[in-house]
Structure 1
Amino acid sequence: MKRLPIGISDFKELITNNYIYVDKTKYIYELLSSCKYVFLSRPRRFGKSLLLSTIEYLHEGQRELFNGLYIENKWNWSEKYPVIKINFAIDIKTSSEIYEVIRNEIRLNYKRMEIGKEREEKHVGLMLQNLIIEVSERYNKQVVVLIDEYDKPILDVIEDKNQAEEVRKTLKSFYSVLKVLDKYIRFVLVTGVSKFAKVSLFSGLNQLEDISLSKEYGDICGYTQQELEYYFKEYLKGINIEEVKEWYNGYNFLGSRVYNPFDVLLYLKKREVRNYWYETGRTEFLFKIIKQKNFDLPYLHKKYYTSEILEKFDIEYISIEALMFQTGYLTIKEEYKYENEEVLYSLDYPNKEVRKSFNSEILFYITGDYQIDRTTLINIAFKKENLQEIKKQIEVFISTISYEVLKNEYVYAAAIYGLVYATGYNVIIEDNTSKGRIDLTIVVDKKVVYIIEFKVLENEREKGKALKQIKEKEYHKKYLNCEKIYLVGIEFDKVKKELINFEYEIIGGVGK
């Protein structure tokens, strides 16, 4: 039985050491046959480095590595091209370090290509230009340029706008030479997690084609359900495939729904449901930006977005929607096309793993505590319909939040939304009905529904307003097909920031 390719990003190592390779060479062949300058963004651990490595060995003409693959009998093996590889994976802490990182990458390529010592240059663009020209002249061939994690140096310092701007200027100078070296270049592929606006980083390189949301390349990284069941069938024996899909499938780049390879490979090895992708390295800068900007996260999946919004952000303007989409915390749920109008997309969490993990992380930034035990306890309380325990857990949870955060009813609803959403239940904030909006709806197993209204009261004489509103506006009628409906009014003291009233009524559903 072939081995699971966990953490293997070198194509040659994967093939020669009996690892499973999911054949993506059909997409690679089509890409190389139709494009010259290409950009691709995908979340981390999605197979971008393996894609670059495969393209590298292909241009080096190592046919023996491609035996039996789609591309074997289609590629012109008589033609070989030198490959320049630039990898920005190394961490930087200050903008001043980017120059040395670039210099080191250039030096490594000079050594690997056996063309002597690099020239002494201070301009990073001239470093790359000299390398490309010298390699091309040394081998009398056009050059393939592969750039991995192009955006990481900026993301490493993105919290500091001034440092991020300095790194961007340096990288802009570095990439700027590509536009004048066309005759020396065979193919360019730039990959990363995020997509910065072309004008800010690749100014002048108008020929760079972005395939990140091209339907024909939607499956170029990641595993489709069909690929998982075909290539890993020996590992799927005795596995609950529906559970695997619920936890790890669901990423959508306008092709098939795909798995993050790293997640599902670790699951197949350990045969245990866990947050593998999330546990191995969070996108730290994302959560810091969310906290700084105070974004309304519960509303992100209730909006519609154009591809332009999803595909780019910049240092001056950080689109949280774009950032969460590009880093893999949100994915495309559906696309909508109206006659003569631009296509719009709705977003959602790709799977259960990301939904639970992300909301747990948000709770940490709200309260300073990961709230894992509390999430579990309130999950059980909702499932067992234990209203007193629900009250207790909400009361304890609210007490952990800074009084500066608790300003209005929406904040209370949003905080509790995060707590409950991490359980995996169907949770809807500002749920529309014909007579108004429910603050929070929680559907458990499609049988039991909790309709919750929050109020922040000036004084205790106002107690009862929340439940009264639910009843007067007949919010429950939207859920009469459920077996049991709980109408829950929760009220907080405006000054003391504490729960002062929790009351509920039960209505039988299914037409009653």
Structure 2
Amino acid sequence: MQKFTFLETDEKVDPSDIELFHHLKFNDWGGDKNRRYTAIKDSLKTLSRMLHAVYGKRVILLIDEYDVPLAKAHASKDPVYYKQMLDVIRGLMGSSLKTNEYLKFAVITGCLRISKESIFTGLNNFRCYSVLNKSFSKYFGFTSEEVKEMLDYYDLSDKFDIIKEWYDGYIFGDTEVFCPWDVTSYISSILEGEDDTPENYWINTSSNSILDDFVNDPNFEISNKFEALLDGESITQDVIEELTYDQMSASEKNLWSVLLMTGYVSKAEKAGKKDGLKLRIPNAEITCLFKDAVVERFNRTLDRSLADAFINAMWNRDEETAGNTLSDILWDSISYFDYGEEYYHGMLNGIFTSRGYSLDSNTEAGLGRLDLRIKDRPNRRIILLEFKRSSSENALEKDCDEAIAQIRAKGYNKTMPYGYRQQVVYGIAFFGKTAMVKLMQE
């Protein structure tokens, strides 16, 4: 409202509109809630009328992220608050778009294509374009050519591959695009003198409550689908384009649809319709969010005494106790997030982070990348872990030996971080809810 304060002093504006504008600006209604709600619903139409009075032209209305208030109301888990917010947004859209003679046209953006019957009732000449439509698809993000041009301008062409790995992968219509916020944030970070390590910028722009709700809902059997996605594969899923936020958890189909529309998954190929659509995680950044959601869920269910017993056995080089205790943790804690190597990796992350250790995951070491390094800074000691996912319980010991052989061959254990004095090295193999831990002998 502050941008339009000049309207209050223009003699061409109706005094009653100036009074309404003043009340809206200062949220001053003298306790009259009904008048306040009505004025808020009519606020964009009021502003349109005032601008038309001053300039003699119909206005162009741009509304960005129109559904964010509804998303936040839904995340509050308060159905009364959600219903009130829905009423306000419905009224705001109706007065500004349907009965607004001062409007030339409007462009509205949001994450979900909320059903027309829910908010946009009675609107004529209403065209909606989602991530599944070809029209305007190249404007939903940066194309590969645009990213290359930007990198060339800043002499950062060598960063293209890492940007593609972390921030590309969205297919809108038939166009593959990069997330513009991530790309510009990454480039800005380098230009400001930071190193070129990619960051998760998404986590600062969203509460991720939608993903968390999906991960923690016991009503959906989705283990195989999550495992496939985290392994870099695609899944086939029916989706629907029109939803209301309070319908999101009504079915698994609805939740996958929301994850698609909000960018947690993307189309896996340019062809394809909403029935039987192939979906995948678009990039490394979103993969991290999925892993974090799994780890957070695991942390909430973790038996702290079992975690302490496992960690103590690891430091004490007691491989038998460590393996038995880790199997107990798997048995007690995992429900439907089972059996994928990424899950086991996330589970071990959760065990050690829950007890205050710092971790290096998939870190460069020797001639390759070590699965996990656990650092106990106060005691200046570390644990090195390499994981294997076994095909059967009988293969656990063989796979532990292979993990240890890989550590030796790649030289993961040859150097320790500066200042550390002691390291313990293990190969770990998993099959279902059974684990084996094997100590590497020096």
TM-score (norm 2): 0.59
Q: How does 1:140-219 map to 2 (within 5 A)?
A: 140-158=56-74, 159-181=77-99, 183-213=101-131, 214-219=133-138
The yes-or-no answer on 1:314 pairing with 2:245 is: yes
1:245 to 164, 169, 180: 164
| Distance (whole Å) between structure 1 residues aligned to residue 320 and residue 271 of structure 2 | 40
How many angstroms does 1:135 deviate by? 3.0
SS at match of 1:347: strand
Amino acid at match of 2:196: E
1:347 to 279, 298, 301: 279
| Distance (whole Å) between structure 1 residues aligned to residue 432 and residue 344 of structure 2 | 17
The yes-or-no answer on 1:365 pairing with 2:297 is: yes
Check the 8 A contact 2:151/2:160 in 1, yes or no: no
Q: How does 1:394-405 map to 2 (within 5 A)?
A: 403=332, 405=333
| Distance (whole Å) between structure 2 residues aligned to residue 397 and residue 118 of structure 1 | 68
SS at match of 1:315: helix
| Distance (whole Å) between structure 1 residues aligned to residue 42 and residue 290 of structure 2 | 42
Check the 8 A contact 2:295/2:346 in 1, yes or no: no
How many angstroms does 1:396 deviate by? 6.9
Q: Which residue in the other structure is 2:202 paired with? A: 278
Q: List runs of 5+ in structure 1 lacking aligned partners.
A: 1-104, 371-387, 424-443, 455-462, 468-487, 493-498, 504-512
| Distance (whole Å) between structure 1 residues aligned to residue 256 and residue 327 of structure 2 | 27
SS at match of 1:356: helix
What is the CA RMSD across the aligned residues, in angstroms? 4.4
| CA spacing shift, 1:199–1:366, aligned 2, 3 Å | farther
Amino acid at match of 2:261: Q
| Distance (whole Å) between structure 2 residues aligned to residue 321 and residue 394 of structure 1 | 36
Q: List runs of 5+ in structure 2 lacking aligned partners.
A: 24-34, 303-316, 349-367, 370-386, 397-428
How many angstroms does 1:321 deviate by? 1.2
Check the 8 A contact 2:248/2:255 in 1, yes or no: no
Q: How does 1:9-28 map to 2 (within 5 A)?
A: none
| CA spacing shift, 1:161–1:419, aligned 2, 3 Å | farther
| CA spacing shift, 1:125–1:150, aligned 2, 3 Å | same
| Distance (whole Å) between structure 1 residues aligned to residue 207 and residue 161 of structure 2 | 28
**The structure with more helix, counted as a fraction of residues:** 2
Name the count of aligned residue pairs. Answer: 320
| Distance (whole Å) between structure 1 residues aligned to residue 346 and residue 135 of structure 2 | 34
Check the 8 A contact 1:151/1:192 in 2, yes or no: yes
Deviations 1:133-152 (A, max 9, x none): 34334432211111122111
TM-score (norm 1): 0.52
Check the 8 A contact 1:329/1:354 in 2, yes or no: yes
| CA spacing shift, 1:238–1:109, aligned 2, 3 Å | closer
Q: Which residue in the other structure is 1:7 paired with? A: none
Runs of 4+ aligned residues of structure 1 deviating over 6 Å after TM superposition are 388-398, 500-503
Check the 8 A contact 1:335/1:346 in 2, yes or no: no
How many angstroms does 1:217 deviate by? 0.7
Amino acid at match of 1:326: M
| Distance (whole Å) between structure 1 residues aligned to residue 3 and residue 19 of structure 2 | 10
2:55 to 128, 131, 139: 139
Q: How does 1:94-493 map to 2 (within 5 A)?
A: 105=1, 109=4, 111=6, 114=10, 115=13, 117-119=18-20, 121-122=35-36, 123=38, 124-158=40-74, 159-181=77-99, 183-213=101-131, 214-237=133-156, 239-268=158-187, 269=190, 270-294=194-218, 295=220, 296=222, 298-299=224-225, 301=229, 302-306=234-238, 309-310=240-241, 312-318=243-249, 319-337=254-272, 344-368=276-300, 403=332, 405-407=333-335, 410-413=336-339, 417-420=342-345, 452-453=390-391, 490=431, 492=433
| Distance (whole Å) between structure 1 residues aligned to residue 318 and residue 60 of structure 2 | 62
**Percent identical residues:** 18
